[in-house]
Amino acid sequence: MVHTDRPARTRRPLNWVLLGVALALLIAGIAAPHALLVAAGLIVAGLIGLGHRR
């Protein structure tokens, strides 16, 4: 195990909120069957992933 002086990076609280919104859109789109809600959920989840890249 390597010890560093830098603290471990964690996700910001806003990311968790956006992940919840993306999951809600995805579930609503699957339950309703409405492709636009599914697409919106996937897009929001993808945007969160793009913001987390190094």
**Is the Cβ–Cβ distance between 25 and 40 less than 8 Å?**
yes
For the beta carbon of residue 21, count every other beta carbon within 10 angstroms: 15
The reported pLDDT for the residue numbered 52 is 62
d(CA 43, CA 26): 10
d(CA 29, CA 48): 19
- Domain coordinates in residue numbering, the chain: 13-51
What average pLDDT score do residues 25-46 get?
Answer: 86
pLDDT in tens, 9-33: 665 677 788 888 888 888 888 888 8
